[in-house]
Amino acid sequence: MNKLILSIILILSVFILTGCAEGPAERAGETIDRGIGNSKDAVSDAVEDAGDKIEDATDRY
């Protein structure tokens, strides 16, 4: 019974420690996340600018 518990603890420890390590996939994911965030900001700014131009154009008439 003690060997089973010890084995389970060791296996879980390996999974936990492996999950905490920052490897190339983790760094690639963070880079992708930053790229998506930058794209969202750019689109949001463009939409806001377009809305301002439409509002200015309608205010003239």
For the chain, domain boundaries: 23-61
pLDDT band, residue 34 (cuts 50/70/90):
very high
The candidate with the shortest Cα–Cα distance to 37, out of 49, 29, 48, is 29
For residue 55, the Cα-to-chain-centroid distance in whole angstroms is 34
Give the mean pLDDT of the chain.
84
pTM of the model: 0.51
Q: Give the integer Cα–Cα distance in Å for 37 and 23.
A: 21
pLDDT at position 31 is 92
pLDDT at position 50 is 92
Q: Give the integer Cα–Cα distance in Å for 41 and 35.
A: 10
Q: Give the integer Cα–Cα distance in Å for 21 and 19.
A: 6
